[in-house]
Amino acid sequence: MTRRSLSFTFIGIALLGTTGYLFWDGVDRRPLDRLHPDAHPRVDRDLKAILADTLRVLVLQDPLTWEPVRSGARGLEWELLQGYAADRGIPVRAVRVPVADSLLSWLQQGRGDVVAA
């Protein structure tokens, strides 16, 4: 590589870097917020609203999580949430989610307040 071509290469890199720096300020630096549909919650339901209504628990039908029985429902996570809600005087209602992949989207759509899975 000759000295002249090396100089042109250096000048080209410097111009590209300067151009990139000048235009970088206008670039949207939040691509995930724009592209990911579940980047922000869609429902504003806080503890006051839950206390006034019910704690809606999104559950998958599984023996460790939640399953209906004749006397009501059972499952480790369900019983832990029932105990927590009973200590605070909050009624609890299970919302059965058919597919595990839907848990996060149902939560952000406001179909439930907490996930037990």
Other CB atoms closer than 10 Å to residue 43's CB: what's the count?
12
Rounded distance between C-alpha atoms, residue 49 and residue 103, angstroms: 21
Tens digit of each residue's pLDDT, the chain (117 residues) = 677 676 767 676 766 656 655 565 555 555 555 556 656 666 778 888 888 889 999 999 988 889 888 988 888 899 999 999 999 899 999 999 999 988 988 888 889 999 988
pTM: 0.64
Residue 14 has what pLDDT?
66
